[in-house]
Amino acid sequence: MVARNLAKVQVAGSNPVVRSLRTSSTDAGREQERKSKVGWPRGEAQDCKSCYTGSNPVPTSLKNPYAFLMQGSPHTLALDIGATKIAFALIDSDCEVLSRGAISSQGNDDLWAVLSHSLKEFAPADTSHIGIATAGPIDLRAGSISPVNIAQWRNFEIVKNISQLFPNATVRMIGDCTALALAEHSIGAGKGFSNLLGVVVSTGIGGGLVINGKVLEGESGNAGLIGHHTIAFDSDRLCVCGRTGCLEEFARGPKMVQTAHRLGWVGGEDFQSLAASAEVGDQLAKTAIELGARALAVGLVNAMMITDVHTVVIGGGVSFAGEVYLAPLRAHLKKEAELSGFLNDIKILPATLGADAGLIGAAIFAQQ
Ligand SMILES: [Zn+2]
């Protein structure tokens, strides 16, 4: 029997980093991993109301079809830049996470100083491939990012800065939801589908596209930014982006909670509580979730009609609620899709890679 070892290592610096070192696992362990992905994510994810981050492990039984592309280097350094944290990991050619770390993306006066210090300590100096998955918006042409929730990074030239840190490395950047789509297409729920839309529903809504087996980046790297297309342009709902009636304003987790409060639900302040109420039959909670799911269905079918993509992989904290959310979503998708005349075989599949999808997608992209 091969044991799975989990070692935690504190890395020096002003912002503590915790690394967990994984070795291989048994089949029984893998089965346990698979089961652990059913329902709400375990551990730290239960404390995270804001995103799909969590401790869902990578299913090690799934091998990377792009492994042949990665045989030249022992590992890839992957980063996942999010609203609350920046995760980084060394990932091997089978998409195994060998070691990992993270810093907070909030509360650091000089975020780059903290990140660069941590990466220098974390990754080997001869790292040859680096992939960055990041919250948007991004500008691929400039190699810069302006994540909505990281105020000090506006047009921040992340690619140039990382390249200076690791001068021998090839550095590639991709949107975080595009990274999720690529990872799920390669080794996750979307394996075998040439075309898919990856969507994350949590405090916000993001998306990314794989078309004919390759990621669709678009002109600036923001293809698939589904959360900020409007589904109600006459609405009085002003989105944080400045437009009115964006999909996010109706379908993201906190908005469903807001809807529930308007209906008179008093069961809590977060989507997890709302889903729990719906699970035990609370009609107000069920109605609020149904309205959010219907809005998402409209948005998804809009995107599917434009792209002629028939498969959606859904991740994010909201999707972890399971059938109480997915069942109404599926029903409304079917209804909306039927009217299109050609979306008669659509599929919506729960993501399987959990919080590591961004890191894995970034690593695969870096090696392509
Ligand atoms: Zn918007």
- Residue range 269-289, pLDDT digits in tens: 999 999 999 999 999 999 999
CA of 217 to the centre of ligand 1 (A): 20
Q: CA 317 to CA 213: how far, in whole Å?
A: 26
Q: CA 36 to CA 31: how far, in whole Å?
A: 9
pLDDT tens digits, one per residue of 73-87: 578 999 999 988 999
Span 209-238, average pLDDT = 95
pLDDT of residue 73: 57
Kindly list the structural domains of the chain, giving each domain's residue range(s) and its CATH number in brackets, ordered by start.
7-179+355-367 (3.30.420.40), 190-351 (3.30.420.40)
Between strands 347-350 and 311-315, the pairing is parallel
CA of 246 to the centre of ligand 1 (A): 5
Instruction: Indicate if the alpha-carbon torsion angle 135, 328, 301, 313 is positive or negative.
Output: positive
Span 299-326, average pLDDT = 96
Return the higher-pLDDT residue of 38 and 121: 121
pLDDT of 63 above 70: no
Give percent of the chain with pLDDT exceeding 70. 80
CA of 82 to the centre of ligand 1 (A): 18
Q: Is 151 exposed, middle or buried (0-12, 13-18, 19+ CB in 10 A)?
A: exposed
> Any idea what the Cα angle at residue 14 is, between residues 12 and 19, rounded to 5°?
45
CA of 32 to the centre of ligand 1 (A): 39
CA of 296 to the centre of ligand 1 (A): 14
CA of 204 to the centre of ligand 1 (A): 10
CA of 109 to the centre of ligand 1 (A): 28
CA of 253 to the centre of ligand 1 (A): 15
Structure tokens at 251: 């379908």
pTM for this entry? 0.80
pLDDT of residue 62: 39
Span 9-38, average pLDDT = 37
CA of 226 to the centre of ligand 1 (A): 9
CA of 155 to the centre of ligand 1 (A): 19
CA of 229 to the centre of ligand 1 (A): 7
pLDDT band at 240 (very low <50, low <70, confident <90, very high): confident
Structure tokens at 132: 């960055």
pLDDT tens digits, one per residue of 142-183: 999 999 889 999 999 999 999 999 999 999 999 999 999 999
DSSP 108-170: -TTHHHHHHHHHHHHS-TT--EEEEEE-S-EETTTTEE--TT-TT-SSB-HHHHHHHHSTTSE
Span 336-356, average pLDDT = 93
